[in-house]
Amino acid sequence: MEMTIGFLIILLAAAALVHAQSQIGFISIDCGSKQDAYTDTDNGIRYHSDDNYIKTGINKDIAAKYAYPANPDLPQPLSDVRSFPQGLKNCYSFTEAGKGSLNLLRATFFYANYDDKNKPPEFDLYVDVNLWSTIKFSSVSDIITTEIIVTAVSDTMYVCLVNTGSGDPFITALELRPIIDSSMYLKSNSTSLLLLKRLNIGQTNSTGTGRYEDDKYDRIWTNYMKPNAWDSLITSQPINNPLDGGNGVPFRVISTAVKPRNGTSTSLVFNWSSANDSSSVFYIYMYFAELELLGKSERRKFNVSWNGVPLFGPFSPLELSVSTISNSTSTMSNSRAVAGKEHQISIIKTEDSTQPPILNALEIYLVKHMNQSPTYGQDVNAIGEVKSTYQINKNWEGDPCSVPGNLSWEGLKCNYYTSFPRITSLNLTSSNLSGKIVASIGELSFLEILDLSYNGLTGPFPTFLENLKSLKLINLTGNHLSGNVSNTLVKRSKAGSLTLSVDAQNLQNHCGSVTCKNNKKIVVPIVASLSSALIVLILLVLGWIHRRKGKKKLEEAEMNKKTGKTVAIKKIHFSLEEILEITSDFGKVIGKGGFGTVYHGYMKDGSQVAVKMLSPSSSQGHNEFKTEAELLMRVHHRNLATFVGYCDDADDHLALIYEFMANGNLKEYLSERSTDLNWQTRLRIAIDAAQGLEYLHHGCKPPIIHRDVKTANILLTQALDAKIADFGLSKVVPGDRDSDHVETTVMGTAGYLDPEYYTSHMLNEKSDVYSFGVVLFELITGQTAVIKRNDMEFTHIRNWVVPKLREGDIAKIIDGKLQPDFEVKSVWKALQVAMACTNIASIDRPTMSSVLAELKLCLEMELFRDGDKRSPARSMEEMFRATYGPGVYLPSNDDSVNAQSMTAPFTR
Ligand SMILES: *[C@@H]1O[C@H](CO)[C@@H](O)[C@H](O)[C@H]1NC(C)=O
Ligand SMILES: *[C@@H]1O[C@H](CO)[C@@H](O)[C@H](O)[C@H]1NC(C)=O
Ligand SMILES: *[C@@H]1O[C@H](CO)[C@@H](O)[C@H](O)[C@H]1NC(C)=O
Ligand SMILES: *[C@@H]1O[C@H](CO)[C@@H](O)[C@H](O)[C@H]1NC(C)=O
Ligand SMILES: *[C@@H]1O[C@H](CO)[C@@H](O)[C@H](O)[C@H]1NC(C)=O
Ligand SMILES: *[C@@H]1O[C@H](CO)[C@@H](O)[C@H](O)[C@H]1NC(C)=O
Ligand SMILES: *[C@@H]1O[C@H](CO)[C@@H](O)[C@H](O)[C@H]1NC(C)=O
Ligand SMILES: *[C@@H]1O[C@H](CO)[C@@H](O)[C@H](O)[C@H]1NC(C)=O
């Protein structure tokens, strides 16, 4: 007896082995299973428990009423579920698939009252960071299966269940099937295919599913037949079925077909409807193989059309050989996208055909845009190392930044304005970490804030922090680190770009150079909270350095003169007499403001200039003015107004000479000639200005913060190229007394002034980003920064936009003076950029570099719409990227197609 049992087990194991071998790359998870692994006797597929794929959640059995033995036909994987009562998001992760691979993912949900509440939940299913489907049941015993063909965009693929507040998410089964040899399914990083229908047409034998092992990709084919209108064809002869060209459609599926009954019709018609969304786009794969042996004089020939539009043809199926027609094949005669709400595919006999049309199999997929990008790979790996090293006991699941709704892992903050989200803040204060500071933190190259205080960490003070150029705050107090903070970090802290908090023992070398308090926990004085006085102090020091350098240069020039060498030294300092000559005795006024008057002039070489005479009574001294001016002379950029020279001769008069800009400033242009500015021009102006600012912030050493970015300071050339003016001068130019100017100790102009800078006095380049956001709002809306309602009431432009944005009424936001001819998506995206720039917290604002990148994408969208011949030909993929670029959250025009109520895969 015992022997017999043993023999049986061996046989079963051998069978399992055979199956396991041919299921290469399959991942089959029976979610909630208490068994490690088993082979489903229905189909030979080897299922595993969740253990290797997810750590969170609890196992539950479905209610007895729905389970075996009450329900003897219930497939084994459906008898239990994994439920997620905790956490907003729970994720399965797959590392086997590999970046760039194409995979079929199938998720199954069978509620069956597993929680005794008799109320099925509703929740969202995500693949990586993009929505796959919303899971919604029609009854307690509803079985939902949803399937998607998706490209892995990183080494780890995630399938996440997201609690949307309508009950605890759960899952019954999850399967992954690599699509390795077929090149027919759309492979794209930015789109995926959601299965709508997969039909084995003409099949009448209800035994068997057509899935594995018939189908190497384990696709599930549903029998489909219109018994009153169609006749079934069937063959038992072998059919030539190449993978490429046939998509590996199984014999069981391709060996059956239909034709219209008895020649009652000359066409086969198949229709479906895509719920209520007319913007849905579909991919259709039609499979044909001639199953009837036709005589010499007979011929089968037909055309395929969609909603009356010819799609393909004329076409004759090959005898006992598979051909696939999809609108994505190059043989398409008419490549109109199959988009719309009601769909009808007609296969119509041609005039010269003696036989009616046939159809063997059909797949319909809905195109889903995968708009969101996952977190940058390097950051994912680095934070993964942090997670595993410290055994972080938090719900750190799935993608670190791109949890739906841009919720990042607890303790992380991210920048979403780069192509891939980047981690900018890591806060693990008092998190019971132990051991050394893990070096992978040094890989988080966008990190701005690192707070590891009060963890009792040991080991040497990390030197790799020096390499993190964006760091603004390091808090390592409350640890037991040995060794000293590096000089580089201390220098950066003293320069005001870094806030540094460390324990006293890490500051041994630096006491004296840095103020140290005598208590145990010591904080290096934070220069980031610069007071105005300190700014002045630094400026004075800088000024002194520059003056020294200037002097040295002049000395060198004198030396060179004496030694006979000629060195071209551009004249930048002008006397009052020369100014009079340049301006023809202040002959032509081209501008006026509280600061003084701007005159038109000609230089000796004939070039036109604008001479800005500053009002008397500058509180700053001439020396500062002069050094500042010399500094500015060295800043050159296409999008910065060229500074020609200055004059500080006149007792109380200072003059600045700029190149003349034919079209004045953007403020005037917008208020007087805005109809001349179409959306593309406005975008180009925004990009120009952004380029200028980006150069000041990231291209200059030391970085220059403009502090008074506004439309009045953006000048336009004859060709409407934009240049930023008055950069770096806000420190020396006496207060602008325009009516819209608010005099505060903080520099800036009402409406453009960064609210955080205003309250904290902490200046950084994000203040310019804020002001730039306001400029962008003005370009989009045509409104002014401060909108006057009446004499008493004023509204800030952002507060004017936000309520309209909430209503989703973009038409009310966009400047009515814009020609209606523009790409709305481009404007919409620009609006998102402006919103991000004007975030109240400066840390949430993008840098000028990311702003610039986003604006360039906006321009691409606009150009692409124009069918601009000059823009390089781009692939579909790039086009999608340009249209639905990363980091931007367009109003969802997603499908509402119900792809869920397909036949359950497990039915026998
Ligand atoms: C798609 O993603 C893969 C992997 O990330 C990458 O190698 C490939 O270049 C991407 N293709 C496009 C067109 O972006
Ligand atoms: C129906 O299909 C099953 C499985 O593919 C097969 O074993 C059986 O012979 C078929 N029956 C008929 C009548 O063709
Ligand atoms: C089709 O032909 C068969 C016999 O050839 C006949 O019995 C049947 O009525 C015909 N059906 C129709 C719809 O004409
Ligand atoms: C197909 O069209 C017929 C009528 O033409 C209609 O009755 C049927 O509901 C449609 N089917 C789908 C799936 O839209
Ligand atoms: C195929 O159809 C899809 C959706 O219907 C569309 O997006 C795509 O552009 C089409 N491809 C070709 C080559 O026409
Ligand atoms: C880190 O988080 C704690 C609370 O979770 C907070 O008090 C602290 O301010 C944060 N640190 C930084 C630098 O934001
Ligand atoms: C550093 O962290 C400690 C403890 O969490 C806190 O008291 C201190 O204020 C922090 N320093 C800074 C600059 O945030
Ligand atoms: C569109 O379909 C979705 C989901 O099927 C549904 O929630 C929504 O109410 C429908 N809208 C209209 C206008 O029918």
Q: What is the pLDDT of residue 330?
A: 28
Q: Higher-confidence residue: 643 or 318? A: 318
Q: Is 7 in the pocket of ligand 4 (CB under 6 A)?
A: no
Q: What is the pLDDT of residue 570?
A: 60
Q: Which of 142-146, 221-225, 278-282, 311-315 has the lowest mean pLDDT?
A: 278-282
Q: What is the pLDDT of residue 58?
A: 96
**Six-digit token string for 715:** 């000048």
Q: Is 205 in the pocket of ligand 2 (CB under 6 A)?
A: yes
> Is the distance from CB of 831 to CB of 801 less than 8 angstroms?
yes
**Maximum CA extent, the chain:** 120
Q: Is 229 in the pocket of ligand 4 (CB under 6 A)?
A: no
Average pLDDT over residues 548-557: 43
Q: What is the pLDDT of residue 26?
A: 94
Residues 608-637 pLDDT 10s? 898 887 765 444 556 666 666 766 677 778
The closest residue, in CA terms, to atom 6 on ligand 8 is: 896
The dihedral built from the CA positions of residue 558, 560, 566 and 570, taken in this order, carries a sign that is: negative
Q: Which ligand is nearest to the CA of 271?
A: 4
CA 720, CA 128: separation in Å to the nearest integer? 43
Q: What is the pLDDT of residue 216?
A: 86
Q: Which ligand is nearest to the CA of 231?
A: 3
Q: Is 272 in the pocket of ligand 4 (CB under 6 A)?
A: yes
Ligand 6 atom index nearest CA of 427: 1
Instruction: Tell me the β-bridge partners of 194.
Output: 148, 366
Residues 568-606 pLDDT 10s? 346 778 888 888 889 888 888 887 655 667 888 988 888
- The residues that are catalytic are 708
Confidence of residue 135 (pLDDT cuts 50, 70, 90): very high
Q: What is the pLDDT of residue 746?
A: 56
612 is in an annotated binding site: yes
Answer yes or no: is pLDDT of 202 > 70: yes
Answer yes or no: is pLDDT of 402 > 90: no
Residues 337-378 pLDDT 10s? 455 567 888 999 999 999 999 999 999 888 888 877 888 889
Q: What is the pLDDT of residue 696?
A: 85
Average pLDDT over residues 843-865: 87
Answer yes or no: is pLDDT of 707 > 60: yes
Percent of the chain predicted with pLDDT > 70: 76
Answer yes or no: is pLDDT of 671 > 50: yes
Per-position DSSP letters for 658-724, written without gaps between them: EE--TT-BHHHHHHHSGGG--HHHHHHHHHHHHHHHHIIIIISSS----S---GGGEEE-TT--EEE
Q: Which of 165-174, 408-417, 727-736, 795-804 has the lowest mean pLDDT?
A: 727-736
Q: Is 100 in the pocket of ligand 1 (CB under 6 A)?
A: yes
The closest residue, in CA terms, to atom 4 on ligand 4 is: 271
Highest averaged pLDDT of the listed ranges 211-215, 612-616, 742-746, 885-889: 211-215
Q: What is the pLDDT of residue 244?
A: 60
For residue 570, CA distances in Å to 405, 524, 557, 660 come to 55, 44, 11, 18
Distance 146 CA to ligand 2 centre (A): 27
Residues 732-780 pLDDT 10s? 333 333 333 333 345 667 788 888 877 777 777 888 999 999 999 999 9
Q: Which ligand is nearest to the CA of 411?
A: 6
Average pLDDT over residues 800-805: 85
Choosing from 259, 262, 264 the residue with most ligand 3 atoms within 8 A of its CB, the one to mutate for a pocket test is 262
Any idea what DSSP says for residue 655? E
Distance 344 CA to ligand 4 centre (A): 9
* Secondary structure of residue 34 in the 3-state scheme: coil
Average pLDDT over residues 127-155: 93
* Secondary structure of residue 612 in the 3-state scheme: strand
Contacts of 459 (CB under 8 A, 6+ apart): 435, 436, 437, 481, 482
Q: Is 275 in the pocket of ligand 8 (CB under 6 A)?
A: yes
Highest averaged pLDDT of the listed ranges 105-114, 831-840, 872-881, 885-894: 105-114
Answer yes or no: is pLDDT of 195 > 60: yes
CA 107, CA 171: separation in Å to the nearest integer? 8
CA 877, CA 278: separation in Å to the nearest integer? 22
| b/e per residue 781-815 (b: at least 16 CB within 10 A) | bbbbbbeeeeeeeeebbbebbeeebeeeebeebbb
CA 524 to chain centre: 37
Q: Is 475 in the pocket of ligand 6 (CB under 6 A)?
A: yes
Distance 335 CA to ligand 5 centre (A): 6
Q: Is 278 in the pocket of ligand 8 (CB under 6 A)?
A: no
Q: What is the pLDDT of residue 820?
A: 76
Element (H, E) at 158: strand 157-166
Ligand 2 atom index nearest CA of 205: 1
Distance 277 CA to ligand 8 centre (A): 8
Instruction: Tell me the β-bridge partners of 310.
Output: 305
Q: What is the pLDDT of residue 3?
A: 33
The closest residue, in CA terms, to atom 1 on ligand 1 is: 189
Answer yes or no: is pLDDT of 392 > 70: yes
Q: Which ligand is nearest to the CA of 150?
A: 1
What does pLDDT average to over the chain? 78
Answer yes or no: is pLDDT of 267 > 50: yes
Average pLDDT over residues 258-287: 80
Neighbours of 316 (CB within 10 A): 17
Distance 446 CA to ligand 6 centre (A): 18
Distance 367 CA to ligand 1 centre (A): 18
Q: Higher-confidence residue: 801 or 545? A: 801
CA 267, CA 781: separation in Å to the nearest integer? 54
Average pLDDT over residues 187-193: 85
Q: Is 271 in the pocket of ligand 4 (CB under 6 A)?
A: yes
* Amino acid at position 819, single letter: Q
Average pLDDT over residues 107-118: 96
Task: Could you list the beta-strand ranges (E) of 615-662.
Answer: 643-647, 654-659
Per-position DSSP letters for 196-263, written without gaps between them: EEEEEET----S--S-TTTSTT---PEEE--TTTEEEEE--S--B--HHHHTT--HHHHTEEEEEGGG
Residues 75-110 pLDDT 10s? 999 999 999 998 888 899 998 888 889 999 999 999
What is the separation, in whole angstroms, between the first and last Cα of the chain? 33
Confidence of residue 873 (pLDDT cuts 50, 70, 90): very low
Q: Which of 519-533, 688-702, 864-878 has the lowest mean pLDDT?
A: 519-533
Ligand 5 atom index nearest CA of 329: 13
* Amino acid at position 225, single letter: M
Choosing from 197, 265, 271, 902 the residue with most ligand 4 atoms within 8 A of its CB, the one to mutate for a pocket test is 271
Choosing from 131, 273, 276 the residue with most ligand 8 atoms within 8 A of its CB, the one to mutate for a pocket test is 276
Q: Which ligand is nearest to the CA of 881?
A: 1
Confidence of residue 540 (pLDDT cuts 50, 70, 90): very low
Q: What is the pLDDT of residue 728?
A: 54
Confidence of residue 51 (pLDDT cuts 50, 70, 90): very high
Choosing from 207, 209, 212, 236 the residue with most ligand 2 atoms within 8 A of its CB, the one to mutate for a pocket test is 207
Ligand 7 atom index nearest CA of 499: 13
**Six-digit token string for 603:** 């230089």
CA 640 to chain centre: 30
Contacts of 80 (CB under 8 A, 6+ apart): 30, 31, 32, 33, 34, 59, 60, 61, 62, 114, 172
Q: Higher-confidence residue: 475 or 340? A: 475
Q: What is the pLDDT of residue 656?
A: 81
Element (H, E) at 804: helix 797-806
The closest residue, in CA terms, to atom 12 on ligand 2 is: 205
Q: What is the pLDDT of residue 64?
A: 95
Answer yes or no: is pLDDT of 893 > 70: no
CA 714, CA 682: separation in Å to the nearest integer? 12
The closest residue, in CA terms, to atom 5 on ligand 4 is: 271
Distance 211 CA to ligand 2 centre (A): 14
Distance 128 CA to ligand 1 centre (A): 15
Ligand 8 atom index nearest CA of 897: 5
Ligand 1 atom index nearest CA of 878: 13
Q: What is the pLDDT of residue 643?
A: 79
